[in-house]
Amino acid sequence: MNLIIDIGNSATKLAVFDGSRKVDSFKSHQFKCEQIEKKFAGLTFTKAIISSVKDLPPFIYDLLTVNIPFVHIVSNRSKLPFRIEYETPETLGTDRIAAVAGAYSHFPGKNVLVIDAGTAITYDFLSGKVYRGGNISPGINIRFRALHRYTGKLPMGSISEEFRSPARNSLEAVTAGVITGVVYEINEYIRTFEKEQNDLKVILTGGDGEYLRGRIAHEITCMPDIVADGLNYILEYNAK
């Protein structure tokens, strides 16, 4: 069994893989070592991997190495089946590396655009066996908070299934502006990449991926587990 730990900006996600098959998972906003011990009591892990976009809590590595023979911490120095063409690889988020690895594992040799709509929205491009780089923009909730915080009177917006555009009140105007802006942004990214790349595969993931999927005007594949898949792939690749 493989234990996958993905520490993100907003939550920590844990998953258990049996080979390449995910058998269990859960997400926590207040992650503690007791959660691992309680949730996975009775399971025996032979390998584990940790990805963190923040400073790694010191207890995690110590906790895992006590009982798990092989523990890998993801970095730009991890062995990967593709080349990274990022000028500052040490600043590249491990969640982005994992998402690209997941894309490679599912679509080897293809041109893949991975859109991860989470706290930030990331656009990462894999071309065959080369990671070409990507862009980062504010996620939906960051945009809502920024409008509320840095203006005098605008209300705090949130994701809504229904809103009018053009809007007829300030709350609706914030909602329509943020959501429509994100959708336009994603659609334009996809349109540009499709124009420049042959046989492009587009993957949508992240906490807001499910909400956005029906609003995108292009063919996409929604893969909520692409980061976990990629971490499991990296783990197996580095354990060889």
What residues are labeled active site? Answer: 95
Percent helix, strand and coil across the chain, each to the nearest 5: 35, 25, 35
Which residues, in sequence order, are CB contacts of 102 under 8 Å at separation 6+?
A: 114, 223, 225, 226, 227, 228, 229, 230, 231, 233
Q: Of 103, 88, 96, which Cα lies nearest the Cα of 120?
A: 96
Please check whether residue 139 is in contact with residue 117, taking contact to mean a CB–CB distance below 8 angstroms: yes
Whole-angstrom Cα distance, residue 134 to residue 142? Answer: 19
| Torsional class of 128: left (φ above 0), alpha (ψ -120 to 50), beta (otherwise) | left
Buried b (16+ CB within 10 A) or exposed e, 61-92: eebbeeebeebbbbeeebebebeeebeeeeeb
Whole-angstrom Cα distance, residue 60 to residue 114? Answer: 29
